[in-house]
């Protein structure tokens, strides 16, 4: 298997195993799917703490309004009674006015938070350091864990306008958000290696050869972003180690210089003629006026 270390810019994303004879268009599609699905997991994970602390999302026409404004406009959240958390709710007002404040109890909060950490660990960028390759099945497992935790805490489901439900049903609307800038469509995605764009219509082996034990770093780019920066000749970790060795060597040289310092020869205690002058009464003689 050929192992690809996928980066976006200078940031590591994940490791991916494939074969040397895979078409580039298929490779781009697989890597883009994993990349975008990992972003989906991250977006859901960012909403889970809010769900645990403040309950379900209010309808769009009620978000950001004060209690008085809601009363004056005679608005009502029809999903409040339907979407009650398992084990009962504990009121914790959302100061932003985005969620209804009917939070799950502590036991259910623990379910959400524990699952959140497990899902994040599955698709974490730290998997690169652990030499664990990410597959679409692994990302789907993270999504299934999050979906299962939400169903345990909210057996009646979440409102259709809740961002977590929209993400899990692939109905999210990211237009106008920062998150939309991170998503890459398959048509816009490009893969670069060794400062060359891997062209669709070719195979991976056209660039890396037929050796199935090859390991390379590829960069995922958006069409129009231009060529990514070249990989440094020395990795960041190696550079840190080199700097550490340099400073350690500097300290050793400094200690050697101090050991060879002969300035002590000018000290009174090192004067071999001091005893002779003392017997001759020639010590403590000063020249010049007092």
Rounded CA-CA distance 195/218 in Å is 9
Residue 230 lies in a domain: no
Mean pLDDT of the 19-47 span: 96
Q: Are residues 112 and 185 in the same domain?
A: yes
DSSP state of 229: P
Question: What's the full length of the chain, in residues?
Answer: 290
Q: What is the mean pLDDT of residues 118-143?
A: 94
Q: Where does a domain end: 222, 246, 266?
A: 222
Q: Which of 92, 85, 94, 89 is nearest to 63 (CA)?
A: 94
Q: For position 97, what pLDDT does the model report?
A: 92
Q: Is residue 287 part of a domain?
A: no
263 and 127 in one domain?
A: no
288 domain-assigned: no
Domain shared by 254 and 152, yes or no: no
* Co-location of 114 and 57 in the same domain: yes
Residues 144 and 27 in one domain: yes
Q: Which of 109-113, 175-179, 265-269 has the lowest mean pLDDT?
A: 265-269
Res 266 pLDDT > 70? no
> Angle at the Cα of 257 (from 256 to 260), degrees rounded to 5?
90
Question: Do 185 and 254 have their domain in common?
Answer: no
- Please report which confidence band the pLDDT of residue 60 belongs to, taking 50, 70 and 90 as the band edges: very high
Task: Examine residue 88 and state whether it is found in any structural domain, yes or no.
Answer: yes
pLDDT over 90, % of the chain = 67
In this prediction, what percent of the chain has a pLDDT beyond 70?
A: 87
Number of separate domains in the chain: 2
Place of tokens 């950001």: 64
237 falls in which pLDDT band (50, 70, 90)? confident
Is 228 domain-assigned? no
Q: Are residues 86 and 144 in the same domain?
A: yes
pLDDT at 139 over 90: yes
Smallest CA-to-CA distance from 60 within 9, 110, 98 is with 98
Based on the fold, state whether residues 240 and 150 are members of the same structural domain: no
Same domain, 173 and 252: no
pLDDT band at 141 (very low <50, low <70, confident <90, very high): very high
For the chain, state the CA radius of gyration.
Answer: 33
Do 270 and 165 fall within a single domain? no
Whole-number pLDDT of residue 147? 97
Give the E-state strand segments of the chain in sequence order.
2-8, 11-18, 89-91, 102-104, 189-193, 196-197, 215-222
Residue 103 CB neighbour total at 10 angstroms: 23
pLDDT (average), residues 140-144: 96
The last residue of one of the domains, among 175, 192, 222, is 222
Asked if the structure places residue 248 within a domain, the reply is yes
CA distance 81 to 75: 15
Quickly state the pLDDT bin for 259 (edges 50, 70, 90): low
Average pLDDT over every residue of 100-124: 95
Helix (H/G/I), strand (E/B), else coil: 191: strand
Of 164, 154, 158, nearest to 88 (Cα)? 154
User: Which of 96, 114, 95 lies closest to 52 in space, CA to CA?
Assistant: 114
What is the residue range of 42's domain?
2-222
pLDDT band at 283 (very low <50, low <70, confident <90, very high): low
Q: Is residue 290 part of a domain?
A: no
Q: Which letter, b or e, does each residue of 34-47 get, where b requires 16 or more Cβ atoms within 10 Å of its Cβ?
A: bbbbbbbbebbbeb
What pLDDT, on the 0 to 100 scale, is given for residue 131? 93
Q: Are residues 137 and 198 in the same domain?
A: yes
Tell me, yes or no, whether 215 and 248 share the same domain.
no
Contact yes or no for 198/189 (Cβ under 8 A): no
Domain-located, residue 161: yes
């Amino acid at each position: 298997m050929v192992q690809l270390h996928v980066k976006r810019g200078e940031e590591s994303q994940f490791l991916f195993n494939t074969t040397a004879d895979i078409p580039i268009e298929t490779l781009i599609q697989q890597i883009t799917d994993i990349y975008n699905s990992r972003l989906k997991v991250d977006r859901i994970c960012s909403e889970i703490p809010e769900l645990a602390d403040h309950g379900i999302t209010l309808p769009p026409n009620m978000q950001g309004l004060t209690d008085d404004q809601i009363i004056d406009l005679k608005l009502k959240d029809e999903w409040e009674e339907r979407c009650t958390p398992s084990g009962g709710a504990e009121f914790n007002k959302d100061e932003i006015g985005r969620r209804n404040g009917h939070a799950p109890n502590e036991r259910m909060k623990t379910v959400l938070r524990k699952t959140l950490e497990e899902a994040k660990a599955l698709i974490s960028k730290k998997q690169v350091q652990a030499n664990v390759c990410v597959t679409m099945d692994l990302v789907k497992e993270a999504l299934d864990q999050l979906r299962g935790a939400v169903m345990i805490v909210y057996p009646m489901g979440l409102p259709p306008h809740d961002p977590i439900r929209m993400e899990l049903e692939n109905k999210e609307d990211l237009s106008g958000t920062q998150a939309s800038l991170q998503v890459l469509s398959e048509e816009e995605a490009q893969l670069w290696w060794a400062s060359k764009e891997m062209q669709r219509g070719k195979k991976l082996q056209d660039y890396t050869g037929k050796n199935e034990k090859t390991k390379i770093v590829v960069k995922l780019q958006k069409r129009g972003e231009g060529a990514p920066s070249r990989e440094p000749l020395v990795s960041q970790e190696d550079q840190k180690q080199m700097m550490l060795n340099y400073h350690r060597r500097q300290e050793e040289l400094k200690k050697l210089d101090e050991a060879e310092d002969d300035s002590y020869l000018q000290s009174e205690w090192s004067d071999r003629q001091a005893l002779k002058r003392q017997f001759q009464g020639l010590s403590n003689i000063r020249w010049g006026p007092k």
